A and B are shown apart, each in its own frame.
Chain A
Amino acid sequence: MELLTELMQYIMNNQSELLALTVEHILLVIYGVVLAFIVGVPLAILAVKIPRLAPVILSVANILQNVPSLAMLAILMLYFGLGNTAVIIGLFFYSLLPIIRNTYVGLQEVSGSLLDAGKGVGMNSFQLLTKVQIPLSLPFIVAGLRVAAVIAVGVASIAPYIGGGGLGKEIVSGIAQRSDIKILAGAIPAALLAILADYLLGFVEKYTKKRTA
């Protein structure tokens, strides 16, 4: 109980700084995931259109995903220096696999008879992609974003080790200063962010599912 009041007190006193860290954390995640979305969706389309490329694209993304997060960030730091750039690139790599894999599966799940119907009414392959295949894979694509976002919120928490910002800063300095309050003030919002991202994108996913059923 005492801890809780102390924590509230701390948060009130450091309101603006914590808010800034939260916003920075969110931005890191958004940059990383959006970048991965921009690169990942076309790669998934390429994998579907050119089946020979599919195993290559999917396994590269898979390998990136399997590198331990601290190791990945450290390596990136060697090339991009300390700071948020290396963090964003790391988050980008981590988000690629869920986005590519889900988009790929989603595009493949579109039923053959709908593709037939699309071709049959005279759509060219670009129109087929934009009017039929992508809209129908939206639930899968959003599910990919959801997984990517949750992972990215977690990975972004270790950004301070390579000079990045975000709520991890509060946690890391809490560890250094052995301050329970500081650790909690960073960890609780970070956890809430992950839950929130999961909930919001889950909601979008459900909506798109309803529209494509």
Chain B
Amino acid sequence: MIELRKVNKVYEDGTHVLKDIDLLFESGKINVLIGPSGCGKTTTMRLLNRLTEHTGGEIFIDEKNIADFNPIELRRHMGYVIQSIGLFPHMTIYDNVATVPRLLKWDKSKIDKRVNELLELVNLNPEQYKKRYPSELSGGQQQRIGVARALAAEPATILMDEPFSALDPISRDQLQNELVRLQEDIQKTIIFVTHDMDEALKIADQIILMKDGRVVQKGTPREILTNPANDFVREFIGEERLKTAEPLPSLSNFIDPTIQAIHLSESKESVIKKLMEQQCFTYPLVDETNQFLGQLSLQKIMNESSVHLEDFVDPSVQALTTDQDIEDVLEYLEKHKHHSLPVVDNENMFVGMIDMKELFRSVRSVYGKRGGN
């Protein structure tokens, strides 16, 4: 875990490029720093391996202040990937990947083994590529080598500075997918700089949007898309992407108005009659203040001799609340094979039953729109 507390960077000529940056990069997550050029995203990343030194605030890696590390040692334990020109052109693929293990003075057999392992990890046949030079590889292959080199000494953290920006769209797409897939295995703390919003949305666990040396907004891609902090964020994301990310409407829009709750004071006979008429097996029960008491079960009414309506409540049915996320609701419905569920508000007041038809129609229209883009 990496933490930045009130970090500032002022250059000698007085330019204040980073202003009070507070950030948290959680372990095992892909954190994407994004923003227009000159926003300080690359500088922020370079502070972490001390290629640039901060002038105010503190940076901690696993609770240890990075000012206490030897910068050379720090860098050897942190992967670093830059644009494709970052491979050493005078070294073979083997030598490039082996750079850090050699600096760490691993023995030869261990390095051999590790290089083979890494080339396979990035989908390049070791025997075929080991002895080649970077210029003999395509841009996409070169960048795979760049990633392999960064992973060589098993660093916990990997810094990636616009690693895919020089690639053609197809290779870029492929490498993004591979990075996400790879991350599932390796679980590194990745700090990734880009100016490409699509890339950020695709790979990020956390997006940090910066402007003029400040963090404008941070959050998951979904949070940023559904809740942009201001016009700048809105503009940076682009109207097109925002449209495709419209949140699903809230649960209160899917209440079936035809179903009224049964009042506690009603008689057993009238309830049975009502259920028969409506062809329902279950019905919501409320007290005189409209507090939700539970779902009446027709089966229980028929089988039990009690005259109190409370005794016929099916305890397995939980009510949903109006502020629940629709996606959670869908998951719940799927898991419990319910066809309809009661909805209550935060004070447990009965709101109504979910109208399943309406819900599915709405979901279909939203996803249809997303698929169309």
* B contact residues around A131 at 8 Å (CB): 88
Max chain A Cβ within 10 angstroms of own Cβ: one of B77, B87, B88, B149: B88
* A contact residues around B159 at 8 Å (CB): 120
Closest approach, in angstroms, between the C-beta of B357 and any C-beta of chain A?
58
* A contact residues around B51 at 8 Å (CB): 116, 119-120
**Interface status of A39 (Cβ within 8 A of chain B):** no
Closest approach, in angstroms, between the C-beta of A19 and any C-beta of chain B?
39
**Interface status of B99 (Cβ within 8 A of chain A):** yes
**Interface status of B90 (Cβ within 8 A of chain A):** yes
Interface residue SS majority, chain A: helix
Instruction: State whether A211 touches B88 (Cβ < 8 A).
Output: no
**Interface status of B272 (Cβ within 8 A of chain A):** no
Contact of A211 with B82 at beta-carbon distance under 8 Å, contacts A116-B51, A122-B76 already known: no
- The contact of A120 among B82, B90, B133, B135, by CB within 8 Å, is B82
**Interface status of A53 (Cβ within 8 A of chain B):** no
Mark contacts of B86-122 with chain A using CB atoms, 8 A cut-off: 1 yes-contact digit, 0 otherwise. Answer: 1111100000000110010000000000000000000
**Interface status of A179 (Cβ within 8 A of chain B):** no
**Interface status of A124 (Cβ within 8 A of chain B):** yes
* A contact residues around B86 at 8 Å (CB): 113-114, 116-117, 120
**Interface status of A152 (Cβ within 8 A of chain B):** no
Closest approach, in angstroms, between the C-beta of B296 and any C-beta of chain A?
68
Instruction: State whether A120 touches B75 (Cβ < 8 A).
Output: yes
Instruction: State whether B89 touches A122 (Cβ < 8 A).
Output: no
Bound together, the chains give a CA A138 to CA B90 distance in angstroms of: 10
Contact of A121 with B83 at beta-carbon distance under 8 Å, contacts A114-B88, A132-B88, A136-B89 already known: no
Bound together, the chains give a CA A135 to CA B77 distance in angstroms of: 25
* B contact residues around A9 at 8 Å (CB): none
Instruction: State whether B80 touches A121 (Cβ < 8 A).
Output: yes
Contact of A213 with B76 at beta-carbon distance under 8 Å, contacts A113-B85, A116-B86 already known: no
**Interface status of A123 (Cβ within 8 A of chain B):** yes
* A contact residues around B74 at 8 Å (CB): 122
- The contact of B135 among A114, A138, A213, by CB within 8 Å, is A213
**Interface status of B266 (Cβ within 8 A of chain A):** no
Bound together, the chains give a CA A133 to CA B156 distance in angstroms of: 29
* B contact residues around A113 at 8 Å (CB): 82-83, 85-86
Q: Which of A113-152 contact B (CB under 8 A)?
A: 113-114, 116-124, 127, 131-132, 135-136, 138
Bound together, the chains give a CA A152 to CA B131 distance in angstroms of: 39
* B contact residues around A136 at 8 Å (CB): 88-90
Instruction: State whether B133 touches A114 (Cβ < 8 A).
Output: no
Contact of A122 with B85 at beta-carbon distance under 8 Å, contacts A117-B80, A136-B90 already known: no
Contact of A127 with B82 at beta-carbon distance under 8 Å, contacts A121-B149, A122-B72, A213-B135 already known: no
* A contact residues around B76 at 8 Å (CB): 121-122
**Interface status of A177 (Cβ within 8 A of chain B):** no
- The contact of B90 among A111, A123, A211, by CB within 8 Å, is A211
**Interface status of A212 (Cβ within 8 A of chain B):** yes
Bound together, the chains give a CA A135 to CA B88 distance in angstroms of: 10
Bound together, the chains give a CA A138 to CA B89 distance in angstroms of: 13
Closest approach, in angstroms, between the C-beta of B175 and any C-beta of chain A?
18
Instruction: State whether A213 touches B80 (Cβ < 8 A).
Output: no
Bound together, the chains give a CA A123 to CA B49 distance in angstroms of: 12
Instruction: State whether A114 touches B103 (Cβ < 8 A).
Output: no
**Interface status of B311 (Cβ within 8 A of chain A):** no
Instruction: State whether A121 touches B99 (Cβ < 8 A).
Output: yes
- The contact of B133 among A124, A127, A132, A211, by CB within 8 Å, is A211
Mark contacts of B129-146 with chain A using CB atoms, 8 A cut-off: 1 yes-contact digit, 0 otherwise. Answer: 000010100000000000
**Interface status of B73 (Cβ within 8 A of chain A):** yes
Instruction: State whether B90 touches A135 (Cβ < 8 A).
Output: yes
* A contact residues around B80 at 8 Å (CB): 117, 120-121
Closest approach, in angstroms, between the C-beta of B300 and any C-beta of chain A?
69
Where the two chains meet, the residues of A that have a C-beta atom closer than 8 Å to any C-beta of B are 111, 113-114, 116-124, 127, 131-132, 135-136, 138, 211-213
Question: Can you give 30 A-B contacts (C-beta < 8 A)?
Answer: A113-B82, A113-B86, A114-B89, A116-B51, A116-B82, A116-B86, A117-B82, A117-B86, A117-B87, A120-B49, A120-B51, A120-B75, A120-B159, A121-B75, A121-B76, A121-B80, A121-B99, A122-B73, A122-B75, A122-B77, A122-B100, A124-B72, A131-B88, A132-B88, A136-B89, A136-B90, A138-B90, A212-B89, A213-B89, A213-B135
* Additional A-B contacts beyond A114-B89, A132-B88 (17; CB < 8 A): A116-B51, A117-B82, A117-B86, A118-B88, A120-B75, A120-B82, A120-B86, A121-B80, A121-B103, A121-B149, A122-B73, A122-B75, A122-B76, A122-B100, A122-B103, A131-B88, A211-B90
Where the two chains meet, the residues of B that have a C-beta atom closer than 8 Å to any C-beta of A are 49, 51, 72-77, 80, 82-83, 85-90, 99-100, 103, 133, 135, 149, 159
A-B interface, 7 closest residue pairs, ranked by CB to CB distance from nearest: A122-B76, A120-B80, A122-B75, A117-B86, A135-B90, A212-B90, A113-B85
